[in-house]
Amino acid sequence: MEFSEHIKTANVEDVVLRQPLHPPGRGTLCITGHHLLFSDREEGSCRQVLLLLRNIDAIEKSGVCRLSGSSGTITIKCKDLRVLQLDIPGMEECLNIARSIETLSCLDSMSELYPFFYRPSSASLRDQWGLSSLERHYSQMKELHDRWRLSTVNRDFSVCPSYPQAVIVPKSTDDDMLEKVAKFRQGGRFPVLCYYHKKNGMVIMRSSQPLTGANRKHCREDEQLLQAVIDGSDKGYIIDTRSSQQALQARMTGGGLESKSCYSSWKRLQRQMERGKALQESLIKLVEACGEESNNMDRWLSKLENSKWLSHVQTALSTAGLLAECVERDGHSVLVHGSEGTDSTLLISTLAQLIMDPSCRTLEGFLTLLEREWVQAGHPFQQRCAHSAHSHARLQQESPVFLLLLDCVWQLWRQFPLALGFSEALLLRLATEAYASDYGTFLGNNQQERCALGVKENTHCLFQALLRPRERDCYSNPLYEHTELAIWPSVYPQSLQLWRGFFLRWTPQTHHLEEAQEEIRNMVIEWGKLALSSCPASTRRSEDVQNM
Amino acid sequence: MEHIRTPKVENVRLLDRSSGQRKASIGTLYLSATHTIFVENNPETRKESWVLHSMVSSVERTPTIPAGSQVILRCKDFRVFQILVPQERDCLDVHTSLVRLSRPEKYSELYCLSFNPNVNKEERQESWSFMDLTADYKRMGLPNNLWVSTAANSEYRVCETYPSELFVPKSATPPIIVGSARFRSRGRFPALSYFHQDTLAAVCRCSQPLSGFSGRCQEDEAMLQALMKANPGSDYIYVVDTRPKLNAMANRAAGKGYENEDHYTNIKLHFIGIENIHVMRSSQQKIIDVGEMRFPSMTDFLYGLENSGWLKHIKAILDAGLFIARAVADEGISVLVHCSDGWDRTAQACSVASILLDPYYRTIRGLMVLIERDWVSFGHKFSHRYGHLDGDPKEVSPVIDQFVECVWQLSEQFPCAFEFNERFLVAIHTHIYSCQYGTFLGNCQKERRDMRLGERTHSVWPELWKERAQYTNPLYRAEQSQSQGVLRPNTTPYCFKMWKGLYNHAEKSTPPRQSPADFLSTVREESQQLEEELANQQERIAALNGEPITWEKVLRRRTSRPRPPPLRAGPAVFYTDPTSSPAQEPPPPRRISLCSRPGVGSRRLLHCCLRGQRPLLWLEGGLFLQ
């Protein structure tokens, strides 16, 4: 298919662009297969705006007919929550542009997406793709080798389509067993290791729900696998991210939960977390409340409450806290699942790792964690991030789980400004990239799809790009100080705040806060330099500053 | 001392809700003339908690249970202490004593008058001369050919609650002033609060006119005319009535009210709608309750926040200040501000406007000067509003709390614009209530003079100034664009937050669990030292290259400038609780986490801090692992 089919009008002159935080500009608008390009033709200015069409969530058209000729206005609402306005002379041009944007912003075929065409001069397709793999992860974790093994039972994605080719499982379970267990778990997502707590040898496992169904089937192999996990310990916990009622109801549709009789040494904890459509609606409500220019305090607070977004943040953090508590303080292994095991499950296992494991809290460590727990573990990015809060399209599989994760991480970052090695800018960048990206990292729903598309061979990797020296400067936290301790977040309502950097990103006030961040960065850099030049004893710290 | 029935009770249990302890500590309770003191029995820590009697806002006794009965102390800085006394008799005694001690009837019972530290006379006098309002007026460029100081109110003849020295327009003659004062509630005639040198516009304040439905007064009209003329560039002034219009209208029936635009030429009347002290009092109570909820859900919390209306009121005050600042800075129009008596809402609106208009008031010294001018000197009724003495509870209202919170909200929006930090604001808030110093005693300048407070007490300002190192915001840069000129805050509702540092006591040490500000202060201090060191070294190199330098010089420099301390001094101050008194020790480690590995030096302290963490909420739900 040719993109040009969809572009009737490629260029319009004399367009006025209005965007937040900038004065309106007049210039030329240009539509290409993947981008909207605006270049300012005003004297003394050479501003250009390059917007990925994929970033556009919704557009609204309105027209004015005047004697001097008609003109139209297109309001563009982006997935990064920016709202732009284009005043286009000529009604026909306006409609053509709108039509092109509508079609090109939600192309169905993944192979037509921009990452397959993005060829920056600074990188080559032969560069390393991704930061790590499970094979590498396993080989680095020597502690694991006694009791755990790397299984390639899923090498052709036939056992579980949403798992990567290699997974880590208890040594005592062989591949035949795994195949049987996979049949007993939704989507074949059998229990696999996701985190090993070095301090006490306890682990976090994750899976999907067991398919017990109405007649309470059970699976010997599944029970054996889990027993092998807690081998030598008195018990383990299962954290189910659904309420007891939801879990029981799931039996009607073939799902279910681990019964006490079959899994006697496992204690089940039900913690209901909102998912799917409800989460998406929550985001829509919040974004709507933030966009409203009302001056009424009561209205704002009641809309904020009504959106329930902060409640979801609270629930996610406290469930993750509970999980970390079981492992770190209580010293037991935990299995996490909800129903599919691709959303809330990943959310809390990721947060729990950030809380407990200092190696996840560096810039590199965090990106590796995301790669392992979200990209490789099969969070369906393509489905979840197809649309964001502005879209009028009928909701299908959209759900801002990843965004919720980033919000929770931001809350951690705010509560422990010295403990995390990355900056808020990184979280904002990831929030944008997950929805529309030049890179192939978040393409597709799982490794299988990515393999089929040749993502590795034909696109560039975001995580690698974020770690290049210039980006690293911007995305690292100048205040970072390594600590071995767990960072227990406070989940008290007053401790949690609206993530202004994201939700109110396009309001003028964030500017002052950014200035403050810049000031902090400069202070620390200045300090590092001075320390280096005048006090040799302090080089240790200065090196840290340089390495960040 | 005669009010203390039982000076010492042993084996009591203290639950300090403000520090979020989960388990009560056992110890001894002492009642002194000035403090309630609890000393822990634990021989290792012997932790002491001191509560000044004047900081206690209420004492409550719960019904007796087998373990004893409880006394609950609620403090004016929103701390809450629960004390379990085993014997009912003792409990009754403690309760009765505290009720009496916390409600002094005479000024002489207050801490600053009853407790006399042995300092010499000169030192005391010096402490009062620290604050010089004349110097501030001078800084604004006063007196000049538009505004002059008037002697009309010397000896408080015209207005008892005004200061003796005031600035009025040059053309306002004493008869005009006296006439205008007669037509204004409590004689509070229009006087200058702030003069903006860039535009020559001024912020003036007064009380409501006694106009009723049809009253008028030539002198008052002449006074407003004089205000306008004192601003050469303008042909009208704004009269800002900070009350809701309905309240202002209702006042007309009582012979008061607001300016009739038909009688006053060239005024533009503007109503803001800040609620009265009674609404504010109950609103604050509601927000305190929100802070005290034990296990609120997000919904409970946000609903409680909305229901309290507190942020709405804060926003109204900030809006009032913003309106005035814009009129003065952008339009160059003078503003006359009043409410009913001109000592509550007027003080709020004028002082917020000054903060927005003038960077000086965003410095440590500047904020002190501002409070001294717009609040202390202009007769804000501190003793009534903050319940210094046992009196009419309807007079009590958190008026200055709201001003202090407005400043905090602004500092959240402009992190680099203020020289001081949150701790400074909290310290000021505490001292307004504590009566440890004479600064905020009484209800007006005349009362303070009559009480001879200058001879009998100390001023709080030099004490705060001495401690300024810990009140400094490390991000402040006087020369930065954010710090200069007029502040233009966004007052959209989403810009306001609940001030956790002041109200949240159920979980005070969070967040941030780690304080970047303290870290940065250390960074900044060290940078300065290093810079000096560097300049020093360069000087030496230059000297060595040029003229020979004597060894004595080098040696002297070495001794006068010690090497900077080890660089990681930062974490030693992480997690310090801004509201706890410096005497209090950090909470002892409660639970040894599995990962604790003693490090070295400051790092070790960081570990301790992390270990001494608060209980976790998912645990406190009592569902799990208890």
User: CA nearest B380: which of B426, B420, B339?
Assistant: B339
Q: Is this structure's pTM higher than 0.90? A: no
How many CB pairs (< 8 A) connect A and B?
217
DSSP 8-state assignment for residue B108:
G
Distance, CA of A529 to CA of A539 (rounded, Å): 10
User: Nearest C-alpha of chain A: how many angstroms from B175?
Assistant: 44
User: Nearest C-alpha of chain A: how many angstroms from B116?
Assistant: 41
Q: What's the whole-number mean pLDDT along residues A486-512?
A: 88
A299 and B CB contact within 8 Å: yes
Residues of chain B with C-beta less than 8 angstroms from the C-beta of A481: 571, 606
Residues of chain A with C-beta less than 8 angstroms from the C-beta of B523: 523-524, 527
Reported ipTM: the value is: 0.91
Distance, CA of B538 to CA of B553 (rounded, Å): 14
Catalytic pick among B339, B350, B406, B435? B339
Q: What angle do CA B312, B318, B320 make, to 5 degrees?
A: 105
The more confident residue out of A516 and A463 is: A463
Strand partners, B52: B35
A75 and B CB contact within 8 Å: no
A23 and B CB contact within 8 Å: no
Structure-token match 């557009």, residue found:
A59
Q: Are B618 and B624 in contact (CB under 8 A)?
A: yes
User: CA nearest B398: which of B141, B111, B617, B76?
Assistant: B76
Residues of chain A with C-beta less than 8 angstroms from the C-beta of B303: 302, 305
Strand partners, A73: A62, A87
Residue A45: predicted pLDDT: 67
Strand partners, B241: B271, B338
User: CA nearest B31: which of B90, B104, B75, B78?
Assistant: B90
Numbered residues of the known binding site of B for substrate:
276-277, 339-345
Distance, CA of A263 to CA of B586 (rounded, Å): 45
Is A535's pLDDT higher than 70?
A: no
Q: Are A80 and A387 in contact (CB under 8 A)?
A: no
Is B442's pLDDT higher than 90?
A: yes
Q: Are B427 and B464 in contact (CB under 8 A)?
A: yes
Q: What's the whole-number mean pLDDT along residues A418-423?
A: 93
Per residue in B360-418, pLDDT (tens digit) is: 999 999 999 999 999 999 999 999 999 999 999 999 999 999 999 999 999 999 999 99
Q: Mutate one of A494, A525, A532, A540 to test the B interface: name it (highest B CB count within 10 A).
A: A494
- For chain B, the first-to-last Cα distance in angstroms comes to 45
Query: What is the chain A residue with the closest CA to B517?
Result: A520
Is B483's pLDDT higher than 60?
A: yes
HEC secondary structure over A314-351: HHHHHHHHHHHHHHHHCCCEEEEECCCCCCHHHHHHHH
User: CA nearest B523: which of A391, A147, A538?
Assistant: A538
Q: Are A282 and A312 in contact (CB under 8 A)?
A: yes
Residues of chain B with C-beta less than 8 angstroms from the C-beta of A485: 593, 595-596, 607, 610-611
B592 and A CB contact within 8 Å: no
Please report which helix (H) or strand (E) contains residue B150, including its range. Answer: strand B147-150
- Using pLDDT thresholds of 50, 70 and 90, give the confidence band for residue B599: very low
Per residue in B509-564, pLDDT (tens digit) is: 444 456 677 777 777 777 778 888 888 878 877 777 765 444 444 333 333 333 33
Distance, CA of A15 to CA of A167 (rounded, Å): 54
Distance, CA of A160 to CA of A151 (rounded, Å): 13
B17 and A CB contact within 8 Å: no
Q: Is B339 a catalytic residue?
A: yes
Decide the pairing of beta strands B69-75 and B56-61. Answer: antiparallel
Q: Mapping DSSP to helix (H, G, I), strand (E, B) and coil, where does residue A208 land?
A: coil
Is B569's pLDDT higher than 70?
A: no
- For chain A, the first-to-last Cα distance in angstroms comes to 45
A487 and B CB contact within 8 Å: yes
Query: What is the chain B residue with the closest CA to A527?
Result: B527
Q: Do A508 and B490 touch (CB under 8 A)?
A: yes
B493 and A CB contact within 8 Å: yes
Count the residues in chain B: 626
Is B18's pLDDT higher than 80?
A: no
- Using pLDDT thresholds of 50, 70 and 90, give the confidence band for residue B584: very low
Residue B547: predicted pLDDT: 55
Q: Are B343 and B379 in contact (CB under 8 A)?
A: yes
Task: Classify each residue of B195-210 as buried b or exposed e, where b means 16 or more C-beta atoms within 10 Å of its C-beta.
Answer: bbeebbbbbbbbbbbb
Query: CB-CB: which of B495, B506, B567 is closest to A492?
Result: B506
Beta-carbon contacts of A410 under 8 Å, excluding residues fewer than 6 positions away, are A424, A427, A499, A501, A502
Q: Are A473 and A546 in contact (CB under 8 A)?
A: no
SS3 content of chain B, % helix, strand, coil (to 5): 45, 15, 40
Per residue in A82-132, pLDDT (tens digit) is: 999 999 988 888 889 999 999 999 888 888 899 999 998 888 888 888 899
Residues of chain B with C-beta less than 8 angstroms from the C-beta of A540: 567
Q: What is the CA radius of gyration of chain B?
A: 27
Q: What is the CA radius of gyration of chain A?
A: 25
Distance, CA of A17 to CA of B322 (rounded, Å): 31
